[in-house]
Structure 1
Amino acid sequence: MRSNLTFSQSDFPILFTLVRNAERYFADDSNTLLMKTRQFAELTAKTVAANYGLAELENGS
């Protein structure tokens, strides 16, 4: 299955992995989908904050 966010794979590989996993569980496992989506949202917020100098990423996560 092709991800909707393939364009982000080279710049944000960890975020891409999280969203790809969330997409995998979309139809079959809603609890896992929510967990993966939350992880994606949290890391996205941390990445944006770090890029604007508002916070630093902790050991790449």
Structure 2
Amino acid sequence: MIYNTIQYVVDNGIGTLTFNRPTVANGFNIEMCKEILEVLAQAHNDESVRALLINA
């Protein structure tokens, strides 16, 4: 899936969610919150994801 405000990749069972709004110091908005919730649900339902790292 393509996201506008975050990046999400899974490698070797580790999901990495990275905030990607550098022009506003990664400030949250409604779209970003929705995308984060979507990734959290996706990671939760993906049995190959053993850990989730969150980077700003």
TM-score (norm 2): 0.41
User: Quick check: which one's strand share is greater?
Assistant: 2
User: Quick check: which one's helix share is greater?
Assistant: 1
More RCO (CA 8 Å, sep 6+): 2
Give the number of the structure whose alpha-carbon radius of gyration is greater. 1
